[in-house]
Structure 1
Amino acid sequence: MTQRAELAAVVDRLAVDELITAYAVAVDDGDWTAYQRLFTRDGRADYRSAGGIEGHAGQIAEWLAESLALFSMRQHLIVNRRVRFDIMEHDTGDTASVRADYLNPMRFATDDGPTAPDLVCGGRYGFALLRTPEGWRLREVVVEEKWRRLPAQGATTP
């Protein structure tokens, strides 16, 4: 690999990392316009393993806005990111896939002051990305919730 190719690979990895971070921030901040801009025009997400829905990014943004309104605090951490780049025959540009683990503590909206999270869940994301003229975008997000804990109830599974 030439130095130029190595530099391009580093730049792509940084851009992909920024996209995944922007995804987490948009969800945590409830910025559903920003959330939708992270996706390709035909981008989809699947939250069914976490009790949600599957659909195009606009449908998912509406569902998330309604579902997450219950929580005044969301602190979505996406870690252990494993990135793979590919060029697929039928694509018009470069593609990438990311598998990453997540930890998501949330607190129900109440008038009480800061308290510990009411709900904590964790699992794994599968992200499929496409390089577009606007930069890297999400083509697909699949959530695989592996566990959920409500402090009063102990650990449960989805």
Structure 2
Amino acid sequence: MREKDTQYILDWIAIQELVAEYGQAIDFGKDTGDWSRWVNAFTPQVVADYSRLFGGEPITIAREEMGKLGGDALAAFTRVQHATANTVRTHFKNDTEAQVMAYADVAHFFTAGGVQQEWTVVIRYTHDVEKTSEGWRIRRVMLDPIHFRGNPVGLELVKGKRLV
């Protein structure tokens, strides 16, 4: 177990900030088309495991490609909002590696038949993070959907279906 000294506290705070930034940077990317904040949350190579939502297998991808991945997945939505829980569990493996679990309610907004719709998914994110020369970054992300509410068409939209 890692000693809880001043460096531990600084690292713990930095990781909390990184986990909050992950969700807020997605929202910012969707709102502005600028995915650089989200891309910056990752190590140069990242394992993205969204298979529990989309099916398929985890992928290893260059962080520069993560913006396109996020933009494509959220293309059908007018807005998204990540409400990340402020209770995040961090398990330090050593001074430069940790695993973080965080819960989030992620609301997805879209219009169907001229009416505003919402689809929300409650998610448990598991992030494997690494301390790099750039600071703490996400090396692996795994999204585990816990519960869905709202218009179920949202699930189809996030999987690529488009409304006419």
If the length of structure 2 is used for normalisation, what is the TM-score?
0.76
Deviation at 1:41, TM superposition (A): 1.2
Matched, 1:145 2:138: no
Contact 2:120 2:150 in 1 (8 A): yes
Separation (CA, whole Å) in 1 of partners of 2:121 and 2:5: 37
Contact 1:72 1:110 in 2 (8 A): no
Deviation at 1:60, TM superposition (A): 3.9
63 and 134 in structure 1: CA distance in 2 versus 1, 3 angstrom threshold:
closer
User: What pairs with 1:77-156 in structure 2 (closer than 5 Å)?
Assistant: 77-79=83-85, 80-87=87-94, 94-108=96-110, 118-151=118-151
134 and 60 in structure 1: CA distance in 2 versus 1, 3 angstrom threshold:
closer
Separation (CA, whole Å) in 2 of partners of 1:64 and 1:152: 20
111 and 25 in structure 1: CA distance in 2 versus 1, 3 angstrom threshold:
farther
Separation (CA, whole Å) in 2 of partners of 1:81 and 1:138: 15
2:162 aligns to what? none
The CA RMSD over aligned residues, in Å, is: 2.8
Matched, 1:70 2:76: yes
How big is each residue's C-alpha offset from its partner over 1:8-60, in whole Å with a ceiling of 9 and x where there is no partner? 11111110011111111111111422212211112221112122663214444
Deviation at 1:61, TM superposition (A): 2.8
Deviation at 1:62, TM superposition (A): 1.5
How big is each residue's C-alpha offset from its partner over 1:82-106, in whole Å with a ceiling of 9 and x where there is no partner? 011122xxxxx61011011111111
2:37 aligns to what? 34
Deviation at 1:134, TM superposition (A): 1.2
Deviation at 1:108, TM superposition (A): 0.7
Separation (CA, whole Å) in 2 of partners of 1:52 and 1:74: 21
- Which letter maps to 1:134? E
72 and 23 in structure 1: CA distance in 2 versus 1, 3 angstrom threshold:
same
Contact 2:98 2:128 in 1 (8 A): yes
Deviation at 1:121, TM superposition (A): 0.5
- Which letter maps to 2:38? Y
Aligned-residue identity in percent: 26
Separation (CA, whole Å) in 2 of partners of 1:94 and 1:111: 50
User: Secondary structure at 1:64's aligned position in 2?
Assistant: helix
Separation (CA, whole Å) in 2 of partners of 1:152 and 1:84: 34
- Which letter maps to 1:39? F
Deviation at 1:109, TM superposition (A): 5.1
Deviation at 1:71, TM superposition (A): 1.4
Structure 2 segments unaligned to the other structure (5+ residues): 154-164
1:18 aligns to what? 17
Structure 1 segments unaligned to the other structure (5+ residues): 88-92, 154-158
